[in-house]
Chain A
Amino acid sequence: MSAVEAPVPVAGGVAIPAQPERSEGAFRQMARRFVKHKMAVVGFVVTSLLILIAIFAPWLSPHSPYAVTAEFSAAPSASHWLGTDQVGRDVLARLIYATRVAVIVGFGTVAIYVTFGTVVGLLSAYLGGWVDMIVMRVTDMFMAFPYMMVILVVVSVLGPTLGTLVLVLALFSWPSIARLVRGSVLTLKQMDYVKAGIALGLSTPRIVFRHILPNALAPIIVNATFGVAAAIMAESGLSFLGMGVQPPTASWGNMLTDAQSISVMTDQPWLWLPPGIMILVTVLAINFVGDGLRDALDPKQ
């Protein structure tokens, strides 16, 4: 952005009369740029809808996701809009409840690993020296692991609960964000405003969290957004393999397991098409949000 940019008039009555020249803050500026990105807005709406569906699943769902009816593998009808599965449960109900799993895994995993990875990356870069060296070697180790295999082993040892799944996915995701944060902090800590903070006698936590972190936030947010999509994909994959969310709890991944047989693939598309589409739409929507955020947060625009 250019230094000569005219002060933007205050919108929406947030102006404090005594301070007429209050210019727009980083968040409003980001929001203004984000809404220009059409696909990102669509993605944001879809993601918000998914979260709402997850929250209000009991009210939205026409049936219980666990209730077994007399009709097995029934085609879509008026009472079962998306038909029933091979055990006779309503597919739409299961689809709606599976949104909960996706949202919990997606956002839960990201919340844990982004927080952890950010703190580790910040400290590693700011403290430097042997702390940095040890942390970076640990991240190297994690990144060199064939993690899918390790996840399979851990899940089979600890039992495939939702909590285990979230923790295990987070365990193998934090190193990349720690490295990302470390990189930008290494650059930021050379900035004169950080030096000025030291010369002004500000405390180290203050410099790290008030001066460095806010300026390192943009790539973290973008990475976290893509991380949600990646975690949902990973959960689906694991559930598909039977190592993730266990039936009878519904997850898009374990709903797809049914599609392993050719006859279901060809004759009963209502069993696998809806969860497949849900995964696709969710991941796409979140990635669009990520794209939009990346553009909106790019300081060079």
Chain B
Amino acid sequence: MTTAERSPAAEPLLRIEGLKTYYPIKRGLLSRTVGNVKAVDDITLDLYQGETLGLVGESGCGKSTIGRSIVRLENPTDGRIWFDGEDITDRSMSDLRGARMKMQMIFQDPYSSLNPRMRVQELLAEPMRVHGVAGGAELETKIDKLLDTVGIPRSYKQRFPHEFSGGQRQRIGIARALSLNPKLIVCDEPVSALDVSIQAQILNLLKDLQKELGLTYLFIAHGLGAVKYISTRIAVMYLGKVVEIGTKEEIFANPRHPYTQALLNAYPVPDPRKRGQERIVLQGDVPSPANPPAGCRFHTRCPFVQAKCKEREPILRGGDHAAACHFPLAAL
């Protein structure tokens, strides 16, 4: 498996600093804000050209919200986002259009991500026409090329989305994302709605495209399988925070945060001989992000909880392989 090397001096393609995305909770006749759901709470991440950062965590941990905040489908409450050397945090919707061409998104549900009333040809032509990327005969050539790239027969371009299978629709969604020649693609659980046999095809397609076009991915998933296959680095999220981040190899071989360990343990091991030893099985539910626990957010479910965990919030530290834990697991 090739790992896109990055030079430490390189400028990140995307830099998120202290990103917070809160959803206000409104009550009563006058819609007073009585609290916030802290979907993303103070996250700092760097994404380098050509790499894939896998973002994993349970449902509701805020991983999708990060993706949506980056492409500004949600408005961040606080924090800054730099993309390609520019600060795009305060851009208005219309000023964002340039940046949007370089930053695309692939959605989870291939059944709702394509307008059912538009033919494939129109679906792919629209963004290119709107942004003036291509027109006329050139546009048709580009559409054909895009379809070739994602492996959809050219002759299908006058069909409607409902005439395709889930995997094919996801390919069309990928073609649409590629239509504007983006640098970064936020993949929001792009394979979780697909059959297992199709998942591998889509993951391979994404990998091939990355190699060919030098794309950078933010790959959001709740399962470790896809993330392990496609990522260069992995960030583990819990309740709106990144609890551990490091290279894929480090995360899998040497998890430092108990939550990461628990996630790894929850991932089925195909080899029966390797099963069994020292598994961390989490009890209980994720606490409400509207009212996260004080101290370490994981302390309510952590098997190694100590007094300090309930009082002080750990910060993410440790350089390239960082964990937010007062008592990180020792290297095995």
> B176: which A residues are within 8 A, CB to CB?
196, 200
A4 to B166, CA, bound (A): 11
Residues of B within 8 A of A48 (CB): none
Say if the beta carbon of B307 comes within 8 Å of chain A: no
A170 to B173, CA, bound (A): 42
The answer to whether the Cβ of A21 comes within 8 Å of any Cβ in the partner chain is: yes
Return A32 CB to nearest CB of chain B, in Å: 14
Query: Closest residue of chain A to B31, judged by CB?
Result: A133
Stretch with Cβ within 8 A of A (4 or more), from B9-17, B38-46, B101-109, B229-237: B101-109
Complex contacts, B101 vs chain A, CB 8 Å:
201
How far is A150 from B173 in the complex, measured between Cα atoms in Å?
52
Q: Chain B nearest CB: distance from A221 CB in Å?
A: 14
Write out, one digit per residue, whether chain A residues 1-17 have a CB within 8 A of any chain B CB (1) or not (0).
Answer: 10111010000000000
| B108, B158, B160: residue with the most chain A Cβ atoms closer than 10 Å | B158
Bound state CA distance, A260 and B157, in angstroms? 64
Q: B73: CB under 8 A from chain A?
A: yes
A193, B106: Cα distance in complex, Å: 10
**Smallest beta-carbon distance A211→chain B, Å:** 5
How far is it, in angstroms, between the C-alpha of A292 and the C-alpha of B255 when the chains are bound? 62
Known: A21-B158, A201-B131. A3 touches B163 (CB 8 A): yes
The A-contacting residues of B in range 246-277, CB under 8 angstroms, are: none
Asked if B130 and A202 make an inter-chain contact with CB atoms under 8 angstroms apart, the answer reads yes
B-side binding surface: helix, strand, loop or mixed?
A: loop
B158 touches A200 (CB 8 A): no
A267 interfacial contact with B, CB 8 Å: no
- With contacts A20-B155, A199-B104, A200-B104 known, is A26 near B112, CB below 8 A? no
Closest A residue to B73 by beta carbon equals A195
| Interface residue B317 (Cβ < 8 Å from any Cβ of A) | no
B interface residues, tally (CB under 8 Å): 40
Q: Which of B71, B116, B119, B155 contacts A215 (CB 8 A)?
A: B116
Whether A36 sits at the interface, judged by CB under 8 Å, is: no
- Flag A257-276 by CB within 8 Å of B: 1 or 0 each: 00000000000000000000
Prevailing SS type, chain A contact patch: loop
Task: Give residues of chain B (140-184) contacting chain A, Cβ–Cβ below 8 Å.
Answer: 155-160, 162-166, 173, 176, 180
- Contacting residues, chain A, for B107 (C-beta < 8 A): 192, 195-196
B113 at the interface (CB under 8 A from A): yes
Check A79 for interface membership: any CB of B closer than 8 A: no
Given contacts A21-B155, A215-B117, A201 and B73 within 8 Å (CB-CB): no
Chain A 179-216 interface mask (CB, 8 Å, partner B; 1/0) = 00000000000011101111111111010001100110
Interface residue B97 (Cβ < 8 Å from any Cβ of A) = yes
The answer to whether A19 and B158 touch across the interface, beta carbons within 8 angstroms, is: yes
Do residues B162 and A1 form an inter-chain contact, with CB atoms below 8 A?
A: yes
The CA of A165 and the CA of B160, in the complex, are separated in Å by: 43
Question: Is the pair A200, B100 in contact by a Cβ cutoff of 8 Å?
Answer: yes
Q: Are B113 and A5 in contact (CB under 8 A)?
A: no
Tell me the complex Cα distance, A201–B97, Å: 5
Chain A positions within 8 Å of B100 at CB level:
199-201
Given contacts A4-B165, A23-B160, 18 further A-B contacts (CB under 8 A): A3-B164, A21-B157, A23-B158, A23-B159, A192-B107, A192-B109, A192-B113, A193-B112, A195-B113, A197-B115, A199-B73, A199-B105, A200-B176, A201-B101, A201-B180, A202-B126, A202-B130, A214-B117
Mind listing 19 A-B residue pairs with CB under 8 Å? Answer: A1-B162, A3-B162, A5-B163, A7-B163, A20-B155, A21-B157, A192-B107, A193-B112, A198-B73, A199-B100, A199-B105, A200-B127, A200-B180, A201-B96, A201-B97, A201-B100, A201-B131, A202-B126, A202-B130
A: residues with CB less than 8 A from B are 1, 3-5, 7, 19-23, 25-26, 191-193, 195-204, 206, 210-211, 214-215, 299
Q: Which 5 A-B pairs have the closest CB atoms?
A: A201-B100, A192-B113, A22-B158, A201-B97, A192-B107
